[in-house]
Structure 1
């Protein structure tokens, strides 16, 4: 989406990846595992990770909005460089727009390295806490404005002296001649700084820093001769997610240790007025670029030797004037969203020593374990990098939010201890229910199970009773449309992923959709129930809300039917057809209505808005995933449907970036290339899927043609390159597209699928061979362009024969079409 506005042991547990012949590699993998030896680097999928893919906020570079720093799969820590704090364009800040990741490739200075980030998001972003910056020379008390880097501690850098790999980032800070290196554990991180000779080495901690805002209160305390600890309070009043509109409030705690004794240290403070951060129009972050703030910086106070301090805009520094030749200063810190004690335990468990390379190797091993779920063969080097980086990006969130002892802060603000599951946060629901969570149901269903438990528990602990659509740090941010958690629950439950209380989950999902006592996830819910559509208004774009509600009502009906709740199933099944109420045959498109039932003014199919969230009527018209055949009937039958759909694609720019037609940069259209199969023209699905795979993804900073949105854009690539995609999550059906690699081996989650593996082969695979000539499933001819989840879950082999010209006879008979979604 393009926004405008517990225990969990850190160990290698499941898999390791090896590339080459599947049988030979499986043997190599097993031998290494039995001996307890790490796989050699050439055998590791992690070597293909390129964290710079998508690492820009610039529309010219794709605006993937990923971060290039170090992290582990679904870990709490994302230790990454910061080039910008955020805010609107203005004096001292030439960059305007969403700066959610804190880093953007086109920026030329670095202001520090912080421990928490978000991947692929806009809307001002959040986190960016515990920012560390190595410096030398006269001490500055602020990072300084981008247009005047000499006035602060920020430093220029060059991409020629910057590198990033799995769980590793390094850069030369040109201003100081300091080389900075970063690596991470799930709940802790480590930084290694190499200083020039004959310089007093200094490390500065900006405790107030927060992406998209500021922490409003901080505390730091020296404990022992090599450690400090403290906290940063980050309420929504200080900005953050959506510049405060996301209602995100949290406190982050830390315990930090230094490789050298703390002999020269202190605190600095800047007296910021309590009302300095009005959360409106981006002012929470723009304030730091004003002359008023810079004037306060010049009057900041340095408290040398201060052992403990609490304030509203403070930092900590440590100086090391007598380093040995080639000696490096290493800093490591655990973080927690529960307590300082939790941060201390997290660090002690996950990075007990000072071996930077060992910490790096452990993190890489975790990535090899996670990525080994999919093995590809026959890919070119750049294709492997695109694929495994996409898989990497789809495994950053939802991140663990509990400490190593299982403690976490619940929706009631109290500390709880998790026992049945690992609490998680960052549920970008409107995006990830479409492809990322269906992908995780195959590769790591435990994560899906954790997320469902987390959302259901949040609904109960807050007293709200309903499921949040875009959760971050227990916040009901209300971002985007619909009831995506309901889709995730149905999709998991229908696949046998049942490690949650289904009755409790159903109750929360039902309240989300039905909204008793006024509590609901939907605007104008009573009107929708009575009239069958959501009237268009700025707070609730009627077209998008009506279409989303119809699909999620289908999810509710399906879930109710599976649980034997026949009355509910009947009620929701009726509402699932509400999409028909906003189709206007006079314009051949979905169209918004006002509360009186009149059509809203028509500005044409391709004009954005008109009741559509981040889209236009042409793009939204295709969103009826639960009843594609019903949509085909509305649009005049299969031939008319496919003609309109093909025109939709033919008018799309070759880059597939932000545009009026097939806008791959945003999620509402992600399923549409696969709709040709329903009209009996699967070769057109094959044609367009292959073009999107080839043209919309690249092995460079503009490698994602829009916001990655917490992994959904990347998950689309992973699924589609394997050869299938779920048009309707929860239905248990995948539509076949155009496999990109000669061989793929999918290792299903062992806990839920009894160690099943599913192989996909593509004979005659080539860049100019996007079309399926024939297919076999487990050795038997397959005449349909779709496959059941149960067929993948059982394990086996799907074989394709590819060619340069379409086979218009394959999978085109009426009996070969996907089944109509039934209730």
Structure 2
């Protein structure tokens, strides 16, 4: 019988983490959290990136693995904000309890913004340049500290130390105040990254407790500045450890015809209107368009004041129950220690040896970043808001999850999870299936955010995740319904009408749809649906229809069949038939039919020469560029093409080069947007020496590991192997080329594995050298 402590029961039940048996096998002396630096990627800076997309856009605050709550500092509300935090900003406007991680579009969440202050009450954050005064504060960068599950900083304007930690559904803030007769904690209920909540409610329950909600609609900006159709309500139950003897509200009267989005809510007229709102002290509850709350008290030097908050997306009862179940009786230190323990258990799914200290930090921080989303959307009692906006109760078979950045994460993030966390993959598929079912739409969303069909990016990435999971044995969902919704999705968004997708974005659309139609073909074949398999396989050949044989490359077409004008620089012109890419980058995306692609492009030798040119022209800093632009997803499979062209030493060379140049132990350590785990997952797999080249089949490419030993712990509920280990003998920064290989002690001369080789357990040994062995793997 499995023995498990009460505090770990919540982790196993609601995080969908490890099986009980595997939890107990974590070695106490192995603490991967020592190698997590949450500041890696925590910048939106366009200047540092040299391009409009900025850098990693991660957040440094406290969270738990796949937790609903993230208690993090926020430095910006408007602008291109992503996570609400960017390292180059010199002030903090508050500490919010929900954040997005690494998104490239205009961000959302950042709800329940808390700020400790002293002296005069300000109702707005103000401007960083101090042109408009507010409650924001400068902070001492030298005091800013973050670990997995913990964050702290000193606010210099108020001389207040702030610390945060979290449980899966709750967060905690601890403020260490100076001596002051007018100390304060204030909460901006309207605030939201990239806009505002459009209505709020708050009620004082007793001398220590408040509860309420914040409704966020597209009218308030947020996800995609409203274009992402985010429509959700955040419920809270918050308890102070200091009595509410002197509290109040502010309520701004916002005219009905005012726009309340990303730029408007930080405009001078809007800030002026909020700053002039009256202070209300004679009420216990209030509803309005722009509310704030504060509680004031005298403090002595070193006084600690704590605020604990339960969050729910279901209702106020859910927030209160989450609070009572997870955090009500716990001290700050207990919450911090338990968060750290949850991270150590989760990060222990992979264990590494070798590499430098910085490389270990990059590895475990990358793994950490892959474990933020898709996050829990279910309350502790199993209730969640479904695709019909109604409350549903889980049947216990899966945890409802949210934030599926499909166009990004089908490439590396979900293939990684098929190895180390198949339960998570199952949860996500069940979440997408139930959303399609409950909403009545009966097709899959490509970028899901809190049940919204946001329409962000393109393609049908859920079909890739579904086919990849099914072929790898992850089948804990309604397979027939899942398949039907896949077919529906392909018919709704695809190349059916013309055999290709016309402008705009003709190349990207056509190639992405062709790939996912091939994925449906693989699923149909596995299910014995031969006619469907044949039909979808043929649809997977649609990439031929946007290849111009005269120009010898992919070229966008109009709806009437004509080609879009070509120019000398057509291949490297961004947005020429492509999204966030050029035709040179997107054109390699035919992962499901490399021989067919090579035939169109003029044969193996010509393709190898063109690929070599593609990589050789890439700048050494790996920032956004016209060639191998690792800062964005379309090229993420490209290094592995060399394996399939029988020159695997080039795959080894360029993946090691990318691991070295595109990732680093610093704030600017991710060359592009983190994209909800995708950039980090690519590193985890490539640095481990294995990576897929085409999710939807079971081939895993072998490449050059960064580390001398990588051990994957396998889930016994899905796979009969216990561990899969990659050992790189004589590995170093110079010895990047594979000389020979052994699989389970036997000579192995293929540059790829089958997925069953991994999940059956065993050992892949690679012998490394400083020169290519052109006889291995071909």
Match in the other structure for 1:735: 701
Q: Which of the residues 401, 404, 409 maps onto 1:427?
A: 404
Single out whichever of 624-633 and 750-759 deviates more from structure 2. Answer: 750-759
What is the alpha-carbon distance in structure 1 between the residues aligned to residue 276 and residue 544 of structure 2?
64
For structure 1, list consecutive stretches of 5 or more residues without a partner in the other structure: 1-6, 18-28, 88-97, 279-283, 515-519, 813-823
Match in the other structure for 1:754: 720
Match in the other structure for 1:192: 174
What is the alpha-carbon distance in structure 2 between the residues aligned to residue 32 and residue 344 of structure 1?
29
Q: Which of the residues 453, 469, 479 maps onto 2:430?
A: 453
Match in the other structure for 1:39: 28
* 1:241-269 superposed Cα distances (whole Å, 9 cap, x missing partner): 10000111001100000011111111111
Q: Which of the residues 200, 212, 224 maps onto 2:206?
A: 224
Matched ranges for 1:521-540 at <5 A: 522=493, 525=494, 528-537=495-504
What is the alpha-carbon distance in structure 2 between the residues aligned to residue 764 and residue 345 of structure 1?
54
Q: Which of the residues 226, 229, 236 maps onto 1:254?
A: 236
Question: Does the C-alpha gap of structure 1 residues 8 and 504 become closer, same or farther in structure 2, counting only changes over 3 Å?
Answer: farther
What is the alpha-carbon distance in structure 1 between the residues aligned to residue 217 and residue 311 of structure 2?
18
Q: Secondary structure at the match of 1:752?
A: coil
Question: Does the C-alpha gap of structure 1 residues 149 and 52 become closer, same or farther in structure 2, counting only changes over 3 Å?
Answer: farther
Q: Which of the residues 17, 30, 39 maps onto 1:52?
A: 39
Task: Report if aligned partners of 1:135, 1:201 keep a CA contact under 8 Å in 2.
Answer: yes
Task: Report if aligned partners of 1:12, 1:366 keep a CA contact under 8 Å in 2.
Answer: no
Q: Which of the residues 482, 485, 497 maps onto 1:508?
A: 485
Task: Quote the offset at 1:587 in angstroms.
Answer: 2.0
Q: Secondary structure at the match of 1:751?
A: coil
For structure 2, list consecutive stretches of 5 or more residues without a partner in the other structure: 1-6, 50-54
Q: Does 1:493 align with 2:485?
A: no
Single out whichever of 733-742 and 140-149 deviates more from structure 2. Answer: 140-149
Q: Secondary structure at the match of 1:624?
A: coil
Match in the other structure for 2:610: 644
Question: Does the C-alpha gap of structure 1 residues 572 and 33 become closer, same or farther in structure 2, counting only changes over 3 Å?
Answer: closer
* 1:488-518 superposed Cα distances (whole Å, 9 cap, x missing partner): 111111111111000010011010012xxxx
Matched ranges for 1:299-698 at <5 A: 299-321=276-298, 323=299, 326-419=302-395, 420-514=397-491, 520=492, 522=493, 525=494, 528-537=495-504, 541-603=505-567, 604-698=570-664
Matched ranges for 1:265-284 at <5 A: 265-277=247-259, 284=261
Matched ranges for 1:200-239 at <5 A: 200-239=182-221
Task: Report if aligned partners of 1:264, 1:305 keep a CA contact under 8 Å in 2.
Answer: no
What is the alpha-carbon distance in structure 1 between the residues aligned to residue 489 and residue 23 of structure 2?
48
* 1:310-365 superposed Cα distances (whole Å, 9 cap, x missing partner): 110010001122x3553300000000000010000101111122410110111111
Task: Report if aligned partners of 1:101, 1:118 keep a CA contact under 8 Å in 2.
Answer: yes
What is the alpha-carbon distance in structure 2 between the residues aligned to residue 615 and residue 562 of structure 1?
34
Question: Does the C-alpha gap of structure 1 residues 565 and 31 become closer, same or farther in structure 2, counting only changes over 3 Å?
Answer: closer
RMSD value, Cα: 1.9
What is the alpha-carbon distance in structure 1 between the residues aligned to residue 242 and residue 330 of structure 2?
11
What is the alpha-carbon distance in structure 2 between the residues aligned to residue 570 and residue 31 of structure 1?
42
Match in the other structure for 2:742: 776
What is the alpha-carbon distance in structure 1 between the residues aligned to residue 777 and residue 730 of structure 2?
19
What is the alpha-carbon distance in structure 2 between the residues aligned to residue 236 and residue 264 of structure 1?
35
Task: Quote the offset at 1:391 in angstroms.
Answer: 0.3
* 1:7-61 superposed Cα distances (whole Å, 9 cap, x missing partner): 995236899x9xxxxxxxxxxx999948xx9935xx3001111000000001344
Task: Report if aligned partners of 2:14, 2:380 keep a CA contact under 8 Å in 1.
Answer: no
Q: Which of the residues 69, 84, 93 maps onto 2:76?
A: 84
What is the alpha-carbon distance in structure 2 between the residues aligned to residue 645 and residue 440 of structure 1?
29
Question: Does the C-alpha gap of structure 1 residues 458 and 109 become closer, same or farther in structure 2, counting only changes over 3 Å?
Answer: same
Task: Report if aligned partners of 1:149, 1:155 keep a CA contact under 8 Å in 2.
Answer: no
What is the alpha-carbon distance in structure 1 between the residues aligned to residue 168 and residue 22 of structure 2?
27
What is the alpha-carbon distance in structure 2 between the residues aligned to residue 222 and residue 31 of structure 1?
44
What is the alpha-carbon distance in structure 2 between the residues aligned to residue 254 and residue 754 of structure 1?
42
Match in the other structure for 1:820: none
Match in the other structure for 2:710: 744
What is the alpha-carbon distance in structure 2 between the residues aligned to residue 447 and residue 470 of structure 1?
17
Match in the other structure for 1:20: none
Question: Does the C-alpha gap of structure 1 residues 38 and 229 become closer, same or farther in structure 2, counting only changes over 3 Å?
Answer: farther
What is the alpha-carbon distance in structure 1 between the residues aligned to residue 23 and residue 222 of structure 2?
45
* 1:275-328 superposed Cα distances (whole Å, 9 cap, x missing partner): 2226xxxxx12223322123213421001243111110010001122x355330
Single out whichever of 687-696 and 373-382 deviates more from structure 2. Answer: 373-382
Q: TM-score, normalised by structure 1?
A: 0.90
Q: Secondary structure at the match of 2:676?
A: helix
What is the alpha-carbon distance in structure 1 between the residues aligned to residue 540 and residue 23 of structure 2?
52
What is the alpha-carbon distance in structure 2 between the residues aligned to residue 383 and residue 200 of structure 1?
47
What is the alpha-carbon distance in structure 2 between the residues aligned to residue 206 and residue 298 of structure 1?
12
What is the alpha-carbon distance in structure 2 between the residues aligned to residue 53 and residue 327 of structure 1?
32
What is the alpha-carbon distance in structure 1 between the residues aligned to residue 772 and residue 13 of structure 2?
44
Task: Quote the offset at 1:145 in angstroms.
Answer: 1.6
Q: Secondary structure at the match of 2:677?
A: helix
Task: Report if aligned partners of 1:73, 1:395 keep a CA contact under 8 Å in 2.
Answer: yes
What is the alpha-carbon distance in structure 2 between the residues aligned to residue 454 and residue 570 of structure 1?
29
Match in the other structure for 2:3: none
Task: Quote the offset at 1:531 in angstroms.
Answer: 2.8
Q: TM-score, normalised by structure 2?
A: 0.95
Task: Report if aligned partners of 2:117, 2:185 keep a CA contact under 8 Å in 1.
Answer: yes
Task: Report if aligned partners of 2:196, 2:265 keep a CA contact under 8 Å in 1.
Answer: no
Task: Report if aligned partners of 1:144, 1:150 keep a CA contact under 8 Å in 2.
Answer: yes
